[in-house]
Structure 1
Amino acid sequence: MTPNDKKSYAALLSELTLQEKISLLSGNTFNTTPSVPRLGIPQIKVGDSINGIRPSAIDGGMATACFPSTTCLASTWDVELLERMGAEIAQQARLKSAQVVLGPTINIHRDPRSGRNFECFSEDPLLSGQLAGAIVNGIQKQGVGACPKHFVCNDSETMRHFYNVNESPNSRTLREIYLAAWQHLLRTSDPVGIMTAYNKVNGLFCGENKELISDILRGTWGYQGITMSDWFATHSTVPPIKAGLDLEMPFPFFRGGKLLKEVKVGNVAEAEIDQRALKMLELRDRTQACHQNEEERSELSDETNRIARELAAAGIVLLKNDNNVLPLSTTTPFKVAVIGEFAYDPVVTGGGSASCKPQYKQRPLDALQTLLSPDSTIRHSPGVRTRCIIPVAPTTQLTSSSGHPGADVSYFNDSAPSTPLLTELLPSPHVFMLGAFKPGLSVPSSRLEITTTLTPLSTGPHILAVRCTGAFTLTVDGAEPVLARDTQADVTTEQFLFNPTLLESRATLDMTAGQPYKIHLAMRSREALTLGEPTPYAATICFEEFASELAAIADAEALAAESDVSLVFCGRSDQYESEGFDLEEMALPRAQVDLLRAVARAGKRTVVVLYCGNPIELPEDVVGAVEGVVLAHFPGQEGGMAVGEVLTGKVNPSGRLGTSWWRTLGDAPSEGWFPAKRGEDGEVEIRYGEGVGVGYRSDGVEKRVRWPFGFGLSYTEFGYHGLKVVVEEEGEKPVLRCQIGVTNMGEREGKEVVRLYVGAVEAAVWRPERELKAFTKVLLQPGERKVVELEVDLKVACSYWDETGIAWKTEMGRYRVEVGGCREEVVVTKEVSWNHL
């Protein structure tokens, strides 16, 4: 289709029947909205997420290009690179025939325990909004739409469907932190959609909060795109329409026939339906370039992989490098101990809707063998296990009744309890159904049975486990049940998807190597269909052979003692950091702490490589004992080589923290206010008790952080000099303009992030000592000097939200400007109040 051939779907509004207009306002599957074939109006298909566009099926096995997690992207501080990434995300969306990408996620890193922080950018609203805007621009320049999320205050997963953020949208806290991120996003980009959050703000669900959607987002800020609910996040029919919510996802639970009835009785005017339907038609106009409807596929691309590696390497943060332990020499042979399971089975992403199945995984162990001198000795010790759940019993150790690897599964309806409705052979003892059941299977009133023969490879006290949604019994060799539960699992559909630990039951059994054990699992279906969401129906047999932590630590310790340098790969996985639940602590898993202490004690030099999305609390003695700490984040499918290139100096680390790393959980300003709590009245509430003092904005932050916001080391050094600041108050757009010289004083090429902070010297209300107002990233050759200019709207640079005047306010007075440790004071002579984007 050429530009001249483009249709105007918006022009078809008057030709739609009322029922057709209403049909456009809800999804019809988990990831599509209906079409109107008689008028040629296509469906809209959405795809999750910017870290990798997943296939449509919830349990689909198709792989996709897996990019680094969003905390890694934020640590790049690189607008140009993230816009290039957006273009690659658009191509991945086209491979899945999606018109809209659900993301990026720009909720604030308020607390280091939030399970979904890994898929958000930062504790800072400007950094979050501007980097997200770069990705949106990259996606939409390719004709695909982007839908940032979640508007607003979804910064906790605990009871996220219910909790109320007890703040007025006109409070300083919301305006200066949480809503500000969206302002910065919309100043730099024009996304086709915005997804509202699950939670309430000031007593109203975000999807039916008129003050948020119609008054602020559309009214004050002038946003013209669609608004859509998160999945199963609508709670009523009329209020979301009145508030301005265009699209209910994924199904018409509160729209469809219910909405038609409300129109007919006069509770909703057809003109209001027209407003919402017009937005959905305009969405189709803006995404016409990608309205193909082809079979989903995954394709390897050298260009995509190059950008994925560049992103991962650019986001890696060097946190400690005592005695120049890094970079490792690639020419001088030496002995290297590579310790930890993540070295050979790396973590690439967090869990939930921002996760995906990567096309491949690069192992850091393999990368180091490629990059280091061929005469170096590289040996590996697996270290301790890091997991919250027991893995699915491996097919290679299972035998079905027919002798083939796998398990037999039979399904029975209560109407014919002795005759199987269906029998199948599965390669894995894992059954997964969500809403759509096996043909003829009655839910409720049915059961399944999984039978297999398990042969252990070793002798010991092994773990057998079950994850089931219904009541169940598990027997071994026909004896009394080893595990049983007489009621269905007390979990929501969301917990079923994202928090399998709640489903798991475990038993320890002494088992003998090579001896076959007949395993039988019988599970009842759930007692009733889940209201408002698809009903889960799943059963899994899990198995893990015994492994001694003490022996694993001793092996790693011995290897470290024989090596010149020890690289310990540790941290968290998607089992710890995921959508659907929050962490309970900041600490590194205990066994990993014991491993680190032992290796640091025995080894000559120790470097820790951390995989995580959230800050991790490291004990003082561990930080003091190791020479190097490298933050790898969840680095995507190219992460193994990216980590290797940073460790060996092929890439000079340029990542800078987008979030403060606190010494302990008690040092975090949100510690006493997180997560949501249920009050005596039964209501679930979150209080933003720290107010505007989020992250580095809080008082006394220097004493409480291990590594501060913006921190990151390099293999070279940068010097700043000659700061010049000019305030231009006259003219149509008053600006604050800064100029500073930056010099690479080392012997390696390197990139530096130049950051501009502003703070009020005196103010009528409490204000943070400094706030980020602009940034850029520059490449400098050894000895090179560049003059960097940063310009920012003076109102944005100097204003705070005036709760009394219900507007942004710039006070007259002195302001402190800081760039690279250089400071200068300036004077603003005019007082200004304003309220626009």
Structure 2
Amino acid sequence: MTITDVTNMEKSYVSRLPELTLEEKVSLLSGVDFLHSDEVSRVGIPSIKLVDSINGIKGSEVQKNIRTAIFPSSTCYGSTWNHELMEMLGQRLAFQAKLKSAQVVLGPTINIHRDPRAGRNFECFSEDPLLSGQLGAAIVNGLQSQGVAACPKHFACNESEYQRRKYNVTESPNSRTTREIYFAAFQELLRHSNPFSLMISYNKLNGTYTTENSFLKKVLRDDWSFDNCLISDWYATKSGPQAVKAGLDLEMPGPSVFRGARLVAEVRKGDWDEAAIDECVTRVLALFDATKPSHSHAPESIAMDEESNKLIKRIASEGIVLLKNEGGLLPLHFDQSPKIAVVGVHATEPVICGGGSASATPQYLQKPLDCLIEAHPYPSMIQYARGVSINRVVPAMPLSQSRAKNGRPGFDVSYFSKSAKEPVLTEFQESPVVSLVRLLKPGLEEGGFYFEIATSLTPKYIGEHTFAARVTGAFELFVDNKLISSKPQQEVSMENFLFEPLHLEHRVNVSMPELRSYPIRLVMQNRLAKPGDYEPNPHGATLAFQEAIVNEEGIAQAVSIAADSDVSIVYVGRNGEYESEGFDMTKIALPEPQISLIKHVAAASKRTVVILYCGNPIDVTDFVDDVDSIINAHFPGQEGGQALTDILTGKVNPSGRLATSWPKRLDREHVPSFDSFRARLDNDQGYTIDYTEGIEVGYRAPTSAETSRWPFGFGLSYTTFNYSDLSVISEDGKVFVSLKVRNSGPVAGHEVIQVYVIPPSTASVWRPKRELKGFTKIWALPDQSVDVRVELDTKHAGSFWDESICQWHLESGTYGIIVGDLGDSFKVERELTWNGR
């Protein structure tokens, strides 16, 4: 290493700006590939790696099953209500990021649970901006304390997935709706942390794409004094100079579409000031400087990390919410040797994460059934029935039933150039999946090619079975040398390819009257890209197969073991085929086969427990009165099986509290956003979302107490807590809330203290009956009392956004404080208007 090399390492990256050419500066403003920024090796500026997510750090192999530690979903994080735990999470995520040689973690996602149909809600914390912002800030602080940058997302108003790259949210950036709810989560986050970067969303706000919207500078830069790096969501950038002018620093991914040579040429012509480029480059280089501790040339690792695993289980344990416990059924007393019926596919195939970019392959999978068997003193007293299937897409053809030409289980994949009869390449695979993005196989050209996936399949049963082709191009599917399905190319986008397998799927039922080997062949033409489509052209195909399923037989088996048991535990819920990035749900009830399973089991069983896997609320109307206990498991990560067992058996006292209201039903009476949630096609052939409910989101809605099945902040415990001695003191712009909390029940446990502010009766505008303005979580032994103190900032706790002056407005008057069943008040003598964080 030369003296010059050493000097370059010691200098800050920002200080090297004067040494860069215009071309080098512009190269730093966009990615070089899907995960990396560009580098300038001439002056020692490295590339940085940006990866998903705070639910599991991915490696470089975006399209492959690289194993990693899977943490719970963010709805579970929200339900912990635990700042300290979230900071610990951030620290472990930083450790995981370094194992994957990454410098930036894309998250946390702090968009709001506006509607229970939003596909990506599981990746977000809550319906409440204060809870979302503060817990998100704790994760940011934990990550960045270890030299890894956080990139909170998606600023702003990205609360729906359908047409998310196109829709326009019609709210003004200065409306109460945006300021008090959707901007407020980010504002709260910035009060309690200083993220080294922020991600900007796909959608439009008030008619302009967020990546080129002036509110980035007005709100983030001017009002909130945020001067760190702004990064586009992937392919969200829509322009060159306009986005630079708005303050968007880094276009991702690469290679660049709107920057690169196009932006250099515009500066050279004098159409654009190089000083604006320098501002953006400075912020990008500052991000590089902030992440120096995580720059490493070490190879990526998938090594197990016991500290992370322990934390995963603790977070799941603190976030799981006990929703119903009739007659004190839980915890189960295994010392009394109960006979247990375990029912449901999720007991052996648990759902640990939702779908989309937050999903990843776990290092291991804890089966709840195995954990229960291990906990029971007499394992033979546990019986299991699989129950019903709820697949939305047909599973990939199983390897065990396939046979390739070489005689091994597997698939032969052959690639052909244009209309050639002989393949240019043939490969053996153990998976019936082909995925070609950017990099084609040797001998193939984008202009035209095709490939085929071939195997021989032996069914387990005689009957009418389902075959499916999930394809991006025109295809033909042959079974037993007969053409059974074909279609020309359908409308398919990169979004569909990545996140919407159902959109790509074409099914057909085929009678297989013999238990013999059937030759199978799927032929797919290359996808033809639409003119002007600047995203990569994906070519993908999956050969799928599912034998006939008779749910009635599964239910009958479940009923049989339930009738012979003391307690039945039914594991049901959604998975990544229902809750995912890229699409929204249309209903919130469980799939009908699961509802039928629960009701039949409950009718036969002495006592029944239902475990719900979900990121969004579930309409439990059809079975809530039939069962004794209900647990919201969220998507609990790779330690979820043990965390659930610890709750069921009383090893852990449940302390999760809902971070989002669960409505009784999905209709306009119970969900304020019901009529205006999904983007609608407008007269200009664009997509529009109107936030017609305004600030009446979740518990803020006037009728929430009547329309909620379980309200925001709800959660049961195996012990009881008494609140007393509430004191509220207001001085020096602060409100100090003090009280005693006593564990008056039989077991030790956590309690969440929630502090709500009630507006003055003299308020000049409509305001919610109460708003969360502070919280903390305590631990107490039986009969132990804990002194609790929560500090509020008066202007943050009491202000509303005044649209008439485009500022926050703290009105004089008497404000109420509610903590549990206790109430007090504080006075504001002098009005105040303010802006900033």
Q: TM above 0.5, one fold?
A: yes
Report the counterpart of residue 736 of structure 2 in structure 1. Answer: 737
Please tell me whether residue 565 in structure 1 is matched to residue 564 in structure 2.
no
Aligned mate of 2:467, from 456, 464, 467: 464
Letter paired with 1:567: I
Residue 5 of structure 1: how far off its partner (Å): 7.4
Report the counterpart of residue 501 of structure 1 in structure 2. Answer: 502
1:588-641 CA distance string (max 9 Å, x none):
10110011110111110000000000001112x510110000000000000000
1:158-212 CA distance string (max 9 Å, x none):
100011110111100000000110111001111110000000111111111122x
Report the counterpart of residue 810 of structure 1 in structure 2. Answer: 810
- 3-state DSSP class of the match of 1:104? coil
Residue 802 of structure 1: how far off its partner (Å): 0.4
Report the counterpart of residue 475 of structure 1 in structure 2. Answer: 478
Residue 737 of structure 1: how far off its partner (Å): 1.1
- 3-state DSSP class of the match of 1:105? coil
Distance in 2 (alpha carbons) for counterparts of 1:202 and 1:636: 38
Report the counterpart of residue 248 of structure 2 in structure 1. Answer: 245
Contact 1:6/1:288 (8 A) holds in 2: no
Distance in 2 (alpha carbons) for counterparts of 1:761 and 1:669: 24
Please tell me whether residue 541 in structure 1 is matched to residue 543 in structure 2.
yes
Distance in 1 (alpha carbons) for counterparts of 2:150 and 2:518: 52
- 3-state DSSP class of the match of 1:830? coil
Distance in 2 (alpha carbons) for counterparts of 1:54 and 1:537: 22
Please tell me whether residue 397 in structure 1 is matched to residue 401 in structure 2.
yes
Please tell me whether residue 360 in structure 1 is matched to residue 364 in structure 2.
yes
| Closer, same or farther: CA 314–2 of 1 in aligned 2, 3 Å | farther
Which range moves more in the overlay, 526-535 or 158-167? Answer: 526-535
Distance in 1 (alpha carbons) for counterparts of 2:142 and 2:186: 18
Question: Runs of 5+ in structure 2 lacking a partner?
Answer: none
Contact 2:497/2:540 (8 A) holds in 1: no
Question: Runs of 5+ in structure 1 lacking a partner?
Answer: none
Aligned mate of 1:370, from 333, 352, 374: 374
| Closer, same or farther: CA 2–419 of 1 in aligned 2, 3 Å | closer
User: Which runs of structure 1 show a deviation greater than 3 angstroms over 4 or more consecutive aligned residues?
Assistant: 1-6
Aligned mate of 1:187, from 176, 184, 191: 191
Letter paired with 1:553: I
- 3-state DSSP class of the match of 1:303? helix
Distance in 1 (alpha carbons) for counterparts of 2:382 and 2:144: 45
Kindly report which structure 2 residues correspond to 1:575-724, keeping only aligned pairs within 5 A, or say none.
575-619=577-621, 621-666=622-667, 667-724=670-727
- 3-state DSSP class of the match of 1:788? strand
Residue 527 of structure 1: how far off its partner (Å): 2.5
1:736-777 CA distance string (max 9 Å, x none):
111111110101001000010001132100000000000000
- 3-state DSSP class of the match of 1:123? coil
Residue 509 of structure 1: how far off its partner (Å): 1.6
1:409-460 CA distance string (max 9 Å, x none):
111112x611211111111221111122112212231111222110001112
- 3-state DSSP class of the match of 1:804? coil
Contact 2:602/2:626 (8 A) holds in 1: yes
- 3-state DSSP class of the match of 1:103? coil
Which range moves more in the overlay, 114-123 or 546-555? Answer: 546-555
| Closer, same or farther: CA 759–267 of 1 in aligned 2, 3 Å | farther
Letter paired with 2:596: D
Please tell me whether residue 216 in structure 1 is matched to residue 219 in structure 2.
yes
Residue 546 of structure 1: how far off its partner (Å): 1.3
Aligned mate of 1:298, from 294, 297, 302: 302
Residue 823 of structure 1: how far off its partner (Å): 1.1
Contact 2:741/2:785 (8 A) holds in 1: yes
Distance in 1 (alpha carbons) for counterparts of 2:741 and 2:447: 68
| Closer, same or farther: CA 559–813 of 1 in aligned 2, 3 Å | same
- 3-state DSSP class of the match of 1:624? coil
Letter paired with 2:79: S
Please tell me whether residue 761 in structure 1 is matched to residue 775 in structure 2.
no
Distance in 2 (alpha carbons) for counterparts of 1:726 and 1:669: 36
Residue 2 of structure 1: how far off its partner (Å): 12
Report the counterpart of residue 526 of structure 2 in structure 1. Answer: 525
Which range moves more in the overlay, 132-141 or 428-437? Answer: 428-437
Please tell me whether residue 822 in structure 1 is matched to residue 826 in structure 2.
no
Q: Percent identity?
A: 49
Residue 529 of structure 1: how far off its partner (Å): 6.4
Contact 1:313/1:653 (8 A) holds in 2: yes
Kindly report which structure 2 residues correspond to 1:725-804, keeping only aligned pairs within 5 A, or say none.
725-728=728-731, 731=732, 734-762=733-761, 763-804=763-804
Letter paired with 2:61: A
Report the counterpart of residue 458 of structure 2 in structure 1. Answer: 455
Distance in 2 (alpha carbons) for counterparts of 1:7 and 1:527: 48
Residue 371 of structure 1: how far off its partner (Å): 1.4
Contact 1:329/1:372 (8 A) holds in 2: no
Please tell me whether residue 151 in structure 1 is matched to residue 155 in structure 2.
yes
Distance in 2 (alpha carbons) for counterparts of 1:638 and 1:377: 24
Report the counterpart of residue 258 of structure 2 in structure 1. Answer: 254
Distance in 2 (alpha carbons) for counterparts of 1:628 and 1:332: 19
Please tell me whether residue 492 in structure 1 is matched to residue 468 in structure 2.
no
1:267-302 CA distance string (max 9 Å, x none):
220000100111111111111111113322211011
Which range moves more in the overlay, 19-28 or 256-265? Answer: 256-265
Report the counterpart of residue 32 of structure 1 in structure 2. Answer: 36
- 3-state DSSP class of the match of 1:151? coil
- 3-state DSSP class of the match of 2:623? helix
Letter paired with 1:506: R
Distance in 1 (alpha carbons) for counterparts of 2:131 and 2:466: 45
- 3-state DSSP class of the match of 1:651? coil
Report the counterpart of residue 384 of structure 1 in structure 2. Answer: 388
Contact 2:65/2:360 (8 A) holds in 1: no
Contact 2:153/2:201 (8 A) holds in 1: yes
Contact 1:332/1:373 (8 A) holds in 2: no
Which range moves more in the overlay, 538-547 or 605-614? Answer: 538-547
Kindly report which structure 2 residues correspond to 1:131-150, keeping only aligned pairs within 5 A, or say none.
131-150=135-154
Report the counterpart of residue 441 of structure 1 in structure 2. Answer: 444
Letter paired with 1:579: E
Contact 1:333/1:375 (8 A) holds in 2: no
Residue 464 of structure 1: how far off its partner (Å): 1.0
Letter paired with 1:504: E
| Closer, same or farther: CA 150–605 of 1 in aligned 2, 3 Å | same
1:36-79 CA distance string (max 9 Å, x none):
11111111111100000111222122100000000001100011
Report the counterpart of residue 343 of structure 2 in structure 1. Answer: 339
Distance in 2 (alpha carbons) for counterparts of 1:8 and 1:144: 17
Contact 2:162/2:584 (8 A) holds in 1: yes
Please tell me whether residue 118 in structure 1 is matched to residue 119 in structure 2.
no
Distance in 2 (alpha carbons) for counterparts of 1:113 and 1:521: 35
Which range moves more in the overlay, 811-820 or 749-758? Answer: 811-820
Distance in 2 (alpha carbons) for counterparts of 1:790 and 1:371: 39
Distance in 1 (alpha carbons) for counterparts of 2:520 and 2:380: 47
Distance in 2 (alpha carbons) for counterparts of 1:96 and 1:3: 27
Residue 483 of structure 1: how far off its partner (Å): 1.1
Distance in 2 (alpha carbons) for counterparts of 1:513 and 1:145: 58
Residue 387 of structure 1: how far off its partner (Å): 1.2
Contact 2:8/2:43 (8 A) holds in 1: no
Cα RMSD after superposing both structures = 1.4
Contact 1:334/1:376 (8 A) holds in 2: no
Contact 2:9/2:44 (8 A) holds in 1: no
Residue 683 of structure 1: how far off its partner (Å): 2.3
Contact 1:99/1:287 (8 A) holds in 2: yes
Residue 384 of structure 1: how far off its partner (Å): 0.4
Distance in 1 (alpha carbons) for counterparts of 2:784 and 2:7: 46
Letter paired with 2:363: Q
Letter paired with 2:563: A
Letter paired with 1:800: F
Distance in 1 (alpha carbons) for counterparts of 2:600 and 2:825: 50
